[in-house]
Amino acid sequence: MRVYKIDHIGVAVTSIAEALPLYQALGLAETHREEVPSQGARTSFLPAGESSIELLEPITPDSPVGKFLAKRGPGIHHLCFGVNDIDAALADLAARGYRLVHRQAVAGAGGKRVAFLHPEAGGGVLIELAEKGRP
Amino acid sequence: MRVYKIDHIGVAVTSIAEALPLYQALGLAETHREEVPSQGARTSFLPAGESSIELLEPITPDSPVGKFLAKRGPGIHHLCFGVNDIDAALADLAARGYRLVHRQAVAGAGGKRVAFLHPEAGGGVLIELAEKGRP
């Protein structure tokens, strides 16, 4: 169940179009956009080495990202670790008493199986786990 | 000046000792601790692939990390990108009009040359740049 990399950093933004220029100035390039209904968000991915920056723009104000923006303003929303076996990881964390938002993996961006831990489990950090995509 | 990876994610914690178990449960291991006077913080590094999680515990309440904790509570503090040439990166960003905390690189953890952009430049994200260490 070991984490083998940081899969991506989710950044809440009010507008992907307005957020992109800084990351482009840093030399990153957008490779694709996708709507993720489970997060109520439009996402833009910018690879950085083996990880990516995932810009998250809310589709509706009452989506999780929309609520985050209303409460805290734009900024880092979550941290996603890549794991090889998400089912084993979730079972192990639950057995250790960590609160999970998803006790079973759900469908995330890029066809990956993902799950969020409860922010309380992460000491104020919203942590997502993502399993390698299966072709 | 291209970003070539996510160097690390800085996480503000009230106590490294209390924060470590979750990351250890995820399979990460602490490789070293270090005091970084320029940030007024004690740091713990846990590698994850080519990146690391950097836990930041304040040395004093009036340090930047201490103030962050008092204002926002524990959570992700900054995002650090690895760059090959930090001097070129800072000059380029300044020329594009982005606000910088450090217009010249300063000494960071692990002997790296680092610099922070102003949070306003990062759209609410505190972005650090770190140049590869020179042996």
* Contact B47/A at CB under 8 A: no
Nearest CA in chain B to A16: B123
Task: Report the amino acid identity of residue A55.
Answer: L
Residue B135 has pLDDT above 50, yes or no: no
pLDDT in tens, B103-118: 999 988 777 899 999 9
Band of pLDDT at residue A1, cut at 50, 70 and 90: low
A35 in reach of chain B (CB within 8 A): no
What class, spelled out in words, does domain B3-117 have in CATH?
A: alpha beta
Q: Which residues of B touch A123 (CB under 8 A)?
A: 11, 13, 18-19, 22, 74-75
Residue A123 has φ and ψ, to the nearest 5°, of: 60, 45
Find, among B120, B117, B133, B106, the residue nearest to B79 by Cα: B117
Using the structure block, give the residue that is written with the tokens 């639950």.
Answer: A94
Q: Is A107 on the interface with B (CB under 8 A)?
A: no
Say what the pLDDT of residue B33 is: 95
| Nearest CA among B57, B55, B36, B35 for reference residue B45 | B55
pLDDT of B4 above 50: yes
Q: How far apart are CA A120 and CA B98, in angstroms?
A: 34
Q: Is the pLDDT of residue A68 over 70?
A: yes
Min CA distance, B70 vs chain A (Å)?
A: 13
Give the pair of three-digit tokens for residue A9. Answer: 């950093």
Instruction: Give the pLDDT of residue A133.
Output: 64
Residue-range domain boundaries for chain A? 3-117
Question: d(Cα A57, Cα A43) in Å, to the nearest integer?
Answer: 6
User: Do the Cβ atoms of B5 and A49 come within 8 Å?
Assistant: yes
Q: In this structure, what token pair is assigned to residue A46? A: 């910018």
Is the ipTM higher than 0.95? The answer is: no
Q: How far is B68 from chain A (nearest CA, A)?
A: 13
CB contact set of B42 (below 8 Å; sequence gap of 6+): B16, B33, B34, B35, B36, B56, B57, B58, B59
Is A4's CB within 8 Å of B96's CB?
no
Q: Angle A112-A117-A118 (CA atoms, 0-180°, nearest 5)?
A: 145
State the pTM of this model.
0.94
Give residue B117's pLDDT.
96
Residue A116: CB atoms within 10 A of its CB come to 21
Q: What is the mean pLDDT of residues B32-49?
A: 90
Mean pLDDT, chain A, rounded, equals 93
